[in-house]
Every structure is written in structure tokens, then in C-alpha cells.
Amino acid sequence: MRLFHILLVTTLLVAACCKEATLSLPTFRELPSPVADDFSSIWMLDTLRGVAVGGKAWERGFIVSTADGGLTWRTDTLLQRKMECVRFDRTGQGYVCGQDFALYRSPDGDSWAAWRVNYQWNRACWLLDGQRGAMVAGGAYRFGEIFAFGPTAFWQLDTLQKTENVLSDVTFSDSITAHAVGLGWVLRSDDAGRTWQRLDITGDFFRSVHFPAPHTGYICGSSGAILKTLDGGRSWQEIRKGGSLGKRNQPLRALWFVSPDTGFVVGDDGLFWMTENGGITWAQVEQAPADADFTSVFALADSASHHRGWAVAANGRIFGFEW
């Protein structure tokens, strides 16, 4: 009888540990979209103004914008290639990159103009203030490249470095420290992207990197790994172990943090996780539809006690949420 009780308690503990935590956000809803192709990236300048991009590889691309917090969207630009990333620097200037070229929009402008044509699959960019910045590129799995721009103007190429594998994302944690990730690669630069050091980290197709604070950053990967740094990217700890793709390890596509402790990770099949303790625990957002393959998420503080977020997905789907 005693053995039976021990086995029963153990079974219940295992079941409790393995049960996926869930949470319900105060607001989570799908928003009208003017396009049907896959979204790749979204960025909001504030709670009203934002831009999202996407398209279909090798066939067409689009840039859409909102001026009312995502309630309505208009198509700004149609292209012949898919766009992968949209970013805005601290001056309000916008940048979009994707297949074959990159575009920019001045803070007071309405139209997008090309600032680089390189016929590469540009995956992501991060520009600081119209001067320094970086962009990463690569094929399906190989032939990665890092373009560093500046130091006096973002359209002036500083250096170009090649990597064996594709690179998928790049960001800056401060004015001179940059970070790039890709297929089995995590890199760091302490001179604004002029030179890079590869860290001894492999084991996943790292898709997204974000720093909510200069010393605190996160990385997520396709096979479910989540990494965290507390020293500006000099070292990283695996806070969630990845593995073979499957029900337990759905592909993670993107992450975004509004503070060092609070953030989101999104991915395929409705995966929409939130943490409020720096990644110690994660909870699935209940309202996220299971048929949505999320590709990008963005959130910001509306006030000290209220936050707003937006997410985009395949098949032209846009979502807004609050908490």
C-alpha cells in the first residue's frame, strides 16, 4: 500500500510539472488585414503608428502601415520580392530589408526609397540613428553575410563579412555592441559591427535576438531553445532546452521583451508564450488561435500599468493584445 501511495504521488507530481500553464490576456483579437500573403515582421513607433512587411518569396512583397494602433491598415508599397524585416531607429527613420534590396523612409516622409540593392536574401537589419547599423543575410541554410554601415551615413558600407551558415537576426544592445544569430551561430561585436566574434554556442537554428536592456538579452531557436544573457551577450545560458521538432518543441520564430523580465515568444501552431519572471516560467496565451503560425511580435508600454502588443502571422493575419 505504501508503494502504491508513493507511485500515485509521483505520478501526480509529474503530471503537474508537465501540464502546460496558460493565461488569458485582458484583450486579444484579430485585426483586419489588407493582404493575404505571409507577414514577416512588425514594428510600432508608438501606440498608434506602425509598419508591417511580408510577401511571397521570389514573387512579391508588401509594406503596410497603421495610424490608429492597428485597427486599420493601408498598403504603402508593393514590391516584386518578399520583405523580411522592418525596423525604426531612435530618430524615427524607418528601414525595411528583404530579398534583393533594402528601403528607408525619413521621419517626415510617406514613401520608401531604396538605399541598397545587393541581390541577397537580406534577413534582418538594425540601424541606430541614421549612421551606424548592420544587416544580415543568407540563403536557405548557408552563405551568411553581415553588412556593417557607417560610421557617418547608413548607406555607406563599412565592412562585409561572410559566415558559413545563414544568419537570421541582428540587434544592438547599446551604441557600439551588436549581436547576430543564425543556423548554429551566435556572434557579438563591440565595435558597432566592424568586427565580429563567434561565441561557442550551437545546437539550434537561432531565429531571433532581442535586448530589452543593455546587459539583458534573449535568443530563441527553431527547435525550442531559449537563451539568456545578463552580461551584454558575452555569455549565454540555456533557460529552455531545445530538441527535435514536435509537439513538445514547436518551432520558435520570434521574441520580444518590454522589460528584462516580461516578454513574449511566438511560433507555429498558435504558440504564443508569455513570461513575467525573466524566462523562469512561460505560459501559453489562451486566446491565440491554434491555426496561426506567428512570425513576429512587438509590444510597448502604454503607461506605467498598461501595455499593448501586436503580432503578425502567415496568411496575412494581424493580432492586437493588451495587458
Q: State in words which class domain 2-322 has.
A: mainly beta
In this predicted model, what pLDDT tens digit does every residue of 122-160 receive, in sequence order?
Answer: 999 999 999 999 999 999 899 999 999 999 999 999 999
pTM for this entry: 0.92
Dihedral sign, CA of 234, 235, 240, 246? Answer: positive
CA proximity to 183, closest of 195, 196, 169, 194: 169
Contact indicator for 50, 44 with CB cutoff of 8 Å: yes
Whether the CB-CB separation of 174 and 183 falls below 8 Å is answered with no
Confidence of residue 250 (pLDDT cuts 50, 70, 90): confident
Q: Check the CA dihedral 309-217-198-151 and report its sign.
A: positive
Which long-range contacts link 105-108 to residues 24+ away (Cβ below 8 Å)? none
Rounded to whole angstroms, the Cα distance separating 168 from 267 reads: 15
Which residue ranges make up each domain of the chain?
A: 2-322
Mean pLDDT over each residue of the chain, to the nearest integer: 92
Phi, psi torsion values for 294, nearest 5 degrees: -75, 140
For 12-49, how does the pLDDT look when each residue is reduced to its tens digit (9 = 90+)?
A: 333 333 346 999 999 999 999 999 999 999 999 999 99
